[in-house]
Structures are given as C-alpha cells and as structure tokens.
C-alpha cells in the first residue's frame, strides 16, 4: 500500500478548502488523488487541546473559511486533543465550516448539540470500527467464559492444574446484548456461531429475519436481560441515559456469577460498583476495553485476577487506519456531492428543511 501525504499547498484557488488534522497517510493514492481534484487540503498536525485550537484559529485566519474539518487518527498520538467543542473548533464553525468528519464510532467526545445548533454535520466512521470491535468482543467473551486471564497467570506462576474455577461451557450459555446496532448485531452473529443463546435489549425490536439469523434471538426487557444473561455485553453509545446503566442496583438484580463485557464506553458502568460485584463474586469475571476514567483504570480492576483488561484497543488492528481514514474521506466526498455525509450522527438545525441539492458543493 502506498502512503501518500497530501500536499498542503495545492494551487487551485476555486476549490473548497478542507482542513485536516493529521495526514490521511494510509489512504490509497488514487482515491486521495481524485479528492484532491475536488478540494484543496490543508493539514495540521494534532497537538494538545489548546495548541490544536490555536493551530485551527491560525489556519482560519490565514486561509479564510474551510468547508470541512477532517480528523484522522494516528498511532503515534497517544492522546486526543478532545473534547471537540466550541473551544477547539469555534473559529472553524464561525467561519462557515459545514462538516466535521472524524475517525471513530463513538462521538461522546464531541459537543454534538453545539455543532447541531450551529448548522454543522458531525460524521463518524461506524463501519470500520464495527467489525473490529465485534471481533474483539467475541474474543473477550470467550476469554471471560474460559477464565483465560486467570489460567495464563497460573501458567506464568507455575501453578499447574488449578481447576478451582472451571471454564463455563460456551454452548450452554446465554449472552445478553445491550444495544443492537451494527456492533451488537455482529456480536450476535459471532456468538450464535459459537453456539450461544442470544437475547437482546434495544430501543426497538429487530425484524424477525434478523432474529432468525441469530438463532431465534429473543427481544427482552431490561429487567429480563439482567436476570437471564450468563454474559452481558454492552454496545450502546454513551449519553445521559446510558451513563451508569450498570450500577449497584442493577448488579444486585443480575444472576449470580454473571460475566460482564464492555467494549463500548467506560462510563456506561459505575466502576466502583463493578469492583464490589467482582469482589463479592456476584460478577464472576469482567472483560473490559474501556474504563470510566480513561486512561486511568480502577485499581480494584487491576488488582482483580478475574478481569481481562485491554487498553481501549478493540478496534486497533493493522488495517483499521486505512479503512477508517477512507471512511472519513468518503463522508467528505458524499457531502460534497449530495450535501450530506454518509454517516451523520446529527441533523444540523438550520439545514433540516433545506433540500440536499441546496447544500451541494460539487454539482
Ligand atoms: O473507541 C473507538 C471508537 O469509537 O471507534
């Protein structure tokens, strides 16, 4: 694969300008070339929150308005300059930016109400994140059922044949899926293939053809999913109604010896309550990729042997950046051609009534 930095000094004057955070270095050269015929890219390298906000202000001052701001993730940057709020992107928004397209499925780091009320689309990258997150979730469910982290610790410590806590049989276990969006459905597909019974809780019921495909998955109430799940896996976005969805009271209502898996967002679980439930044995094991106060992990989780802990890396495989950066650019391309990105998470208020043709930047 060719890695092609985009030029920050394209000549064409009449092309709409697009500001990017980092280079889309993993995108196929031909695709990038086609987009460079449509727009003029300006690149800034990400920094801390305040420093990035200043770089954005400087870019606007120097170049005038940008039609879009694209955020490309890079491995070398360990921390993100978020939150993506008025302080970070206010200068862009005020200068007429219509689209912010960002790598990543979650968008809790962006002030969506601010963007919506200022007429700006926010687009995420659900497709590239979904497959990797679902694959990692399946792996973590199997790890937690088998107690592989405890067994590995035994092996490393030379403890042989320690069968105090035997693996649970995947084929005789029920997985409860909270949130049946793209990721939840892929997890259902994976775990059905492993022979698990699937139950799910979601805002709305899936078409019966989907339920059939997942081995007659059952749509259940929130209370029912707590008491019937052997493994509970969370795939909801983080918002005010899902913050601490799992808390002291819900843990108390779950079946004894439940397994908790979370690859969505940490604050969906009240971590203190989870630690208590792991200590009491109410929760047999937890497999987590996300934490309430990232990048800090609760000391009680680190200490516990019955946890499998990953550093928010469920999506991180060798090809994610290529797919994610391409998905960000596809959002831009769709927006330029139709006035709407492929995967908007909001409907900007001032534009809700406009016809999409009215917003096209490219005929
Ligand atoms: O956390 C990862 C994502 O939101 O894609």
> In three state form, how does the secondary structure of 279-291 look?
HHCCEEEEEECCC
106 lines ligand 1 (CB under 6 A): yes
Which of 135, 163, 138 lies closest to 150 in space, CA to CA?
Answer: 163
Q: What is the ipTM of this complex?
A: 0.93
How far does the chain reach from its first CA to its final CA, in angstroms? Answer: 31
Widest pairwise Cα distance in the chain: 71
> For 148-183, what is each residue's pLDDT tens digit?
999 999 999 999 877 777 789 999 999 999 999 999
pLDDT score for 218: 98
Spatial neighbors of 238 by CB under 8 A, at least 6 apart, are: 106, 108, 264, 265, 267, 268
Residues 228, 80, single domain; the answer is no
Residue 185 Cα to ligand 1 middle (Å)? 17
- Does residue 154 belong to any structural domain of this protein? yes
Q: What are phi and psi of 148, to 5 degrees?
A: -65, -30
Question: What backbone torsions phi and psi does residue 66 show, to the nearest 5 degrees?
Answer: -115, 135
Classify residue 265 by burial, with Cβ atoms within 10 Å: 0-12, 13-18, 19+: buried
**Ligand 1 pocket check for 103: Cβ under 6 Å:** no
Task: Answer whether 71 contacts ligand 1 (Cβ < 6 A).
Answer: no
Same domain, 41 and 144: no
Catalytic residues: 265, 294, 312
Q: For residue 137, tell me if it sits in a domain.
A: yes
Ligand 1 atom showing the smallest separation from residue 104 Cα: 5
Residues 103 and 19 in one domain: yes
What's the confidence (pLDDT) of residue 351?
55
SS3 content of the chain, % helix, strand, coil (to 5): 40, 15, 45
According to the model, what pLDDT value does residue 259 have?
Answer: 98
Residue 354 placed within a domain: no
Q: Please indicate whether residue 184, judged by its CB atom, sits closer than 6 Å to ligand 1.
A: no
Residue 31 lies in a domain: yes
Residue 159 lies in a domain: yes
Domain count, the chain: 2
The closest of 236, 231, 232, 233 to 203, measured between CA atoms, is: 236
Element containing residue 52 per DSSP (H, E)? helix 49-63
**Ligand 1 centroid distance, CA of 357 (Å):** 31
Residue 355 covered by a domain: no
Q: Do residues 67 and 29 share a domain?
A: yes
Q: What range defines the domain where residue 330 resides?
A: 8-124+319-338
User: Judging by beta carbons within 10 Å of its beta carbon (0-12, 13-18, 19+), is residue 71 exposed, middle or buried?
Assistant: buried
pLDDT of residue 354: 43
Indicate if ligand 1 lies below 6 Å from the C-beta of 277. no
- Residue numbers in the chain where pLDDT is lower than 70: 1-13, 351-363
Domain boundary among 309, 328, 353: 309
What's the pTM? 0.88
In a domain, 171, yes or no: yes
Per-residue model confidence as pLDDT tens digits over 286-318: 999 999 999 999 999 999 999 999 999 999 888
Mutation test of ligand 1: which of 106, 134, 328 has the most ligand atoms closer than 8 Å to its C-beta? 106
Residues 176 and 286 in one domain: yes
CATH of the domain at 328: 3.40.50.720
Same domain flag for 76 and 97: yes
116 alpha carbon – ligand 1 mean position (Å): 21
Check residue 75 and give its pLDDT. Answer: 82
Residue nearest to atom 2 of ligand 1 (CA): 104
| Same domain (yes/no): 174, 301 | yes
């Amino acid at each position: 694969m060719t890695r092609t930095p985009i030029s920050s000094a394209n000549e064409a004057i009449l092309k709409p300008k697009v500001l990017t955070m980092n280079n889309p270095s993993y995108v196929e050269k031909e695709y990038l070339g086609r987009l460079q015929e449509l727009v003029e890219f300006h690149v800034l390298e990400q920094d801390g929150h305040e420093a990035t906000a200043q770089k954005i202000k400087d870019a606007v001052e120097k170049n005038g308005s940008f039609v879009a701001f694209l955020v490309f993730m890079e491995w070398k940057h360990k921390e993100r300059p978020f939150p993506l709020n008025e302080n970070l992107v206010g200068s862009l928004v005020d200068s007429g930016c219509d689209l912010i397209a960002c790598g990543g499925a979650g968008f809790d780091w962006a002030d969506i109400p601010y963007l919506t009320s200022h007429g700006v689309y926010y687009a995420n990258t659900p497709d590239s994140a979904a497959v990797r997150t679902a694959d990692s979730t399946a792996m973590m469910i199997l790890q937690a059922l088998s107690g592989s982290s405890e067994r590995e610790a035994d092996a490393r410590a030379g403890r042989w044949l320690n069968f105090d806590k035997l693996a649970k049989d995947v084929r005789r276990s029920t997985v409860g899926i909270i949130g049946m969006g793209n990721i939840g459905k892929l997890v259902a597909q994976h775990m059905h293939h492993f022979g698990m019974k699937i139950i799910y809780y979601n805002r709305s019921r899936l078409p019966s053809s989907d339920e059939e495909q997942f081995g007659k998955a059952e749509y259940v109430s929130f209370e029912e999913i707590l008491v019937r799940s052997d493994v509970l896996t969370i795939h909801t976005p983080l918002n005010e109604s899902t913050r601490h969805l799992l808390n002291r009271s819900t843990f108390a209502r779950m079946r004894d010896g439940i397994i908790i898996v979370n690859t969505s967002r940490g604050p969906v679980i009240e971590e203190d309550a989870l630690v208590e439930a792991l200590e009491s044995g109410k929760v047999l094991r937890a497999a987590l990729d996300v934490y309430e106060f990232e990048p800090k992990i609760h000391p009680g989780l680190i200490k516990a042997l019955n946890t499998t802990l990953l550093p928010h890396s469920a999506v991180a495989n060798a090809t994610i950046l290529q797919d994610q950066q391409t998905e960000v650019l596809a959002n831009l391309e769709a927006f330029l051609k139709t006035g709407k990105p492929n995967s908007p998470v909001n409907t900007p208020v001032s534009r809700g009534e406009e016809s999409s043709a009215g917003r096209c930047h490219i005929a």
